[in-house]
Amino acid sequence: MPPIITISINTRGDYDFIDITAKVSRHLVNTAFQEGLATVFIAGSTAGLILIEYEPGLVQDLKRAFQRIAPVEAYYEHNAKWGDGNGHSHVSASISGQSVAIPFSSGKLLLGTWQQIVLVDFDNRPRQRQVYVKFIQG
């Protein structure tokens, strides 16, 4: 069984949406596995992983939706305790989640025609993010 794969990604923060589907798919090809499950996880409490149609209109719609759910200017206990001003990013990341599981067959991820794996960095500053991928044959 192959080890856990680490993909490092530099982000801009502030609702940076990054399509990582091709990176995950390239690593799947390297395993030579034909059927199984890909688990993808982002470490950190201010970023998330989502499965969406990665197109500019939907990216803007989702950015506005997250801003309505957890506005930057709202009061957050987290900000009061730590003073880092990113309480909104913790809330947004908690809602989006930090992992996805995708089946694969014939050595290809079984994503819908318009579906991609997207990292969203909600934090208020750039970061280097670590995405961990594990392919389970089965």
Secondary structure (H, E, C), 16-49 = EEEECHHHHHHHHHHHCCCCEEEEEEECCCCEEE
* pLDDT tops 80 at residue 2: no
Q: What are residue 38's phi and psi, to 5 degrees?
A: -100, 125
pLDDT in tens, 54-90: 999 999 999 999 999 999 999 999 999 999 999 999 9
Q: Which long-range contacts (CB under 8 A, 24 or more apart) does 50-58 make?
A: 50/96, 50/97, 50/100, 50/118, 50/120, 51/100, 51/102, 51/111, 51/115, 51/116, 51/117, 51/118, 52/115, 52/116, 52/118, 53/114, 53/115, 53/116, 54/17, 54/19, 54/21, 54/116, 54/118, 55/114
pLDDT in tens, 102-127: 999 999 999 999 999 999 999 999 99
Q: Are 120 and 47 in contact (CB under 8 A)?
A: yes
pTM given for the model: 0.95
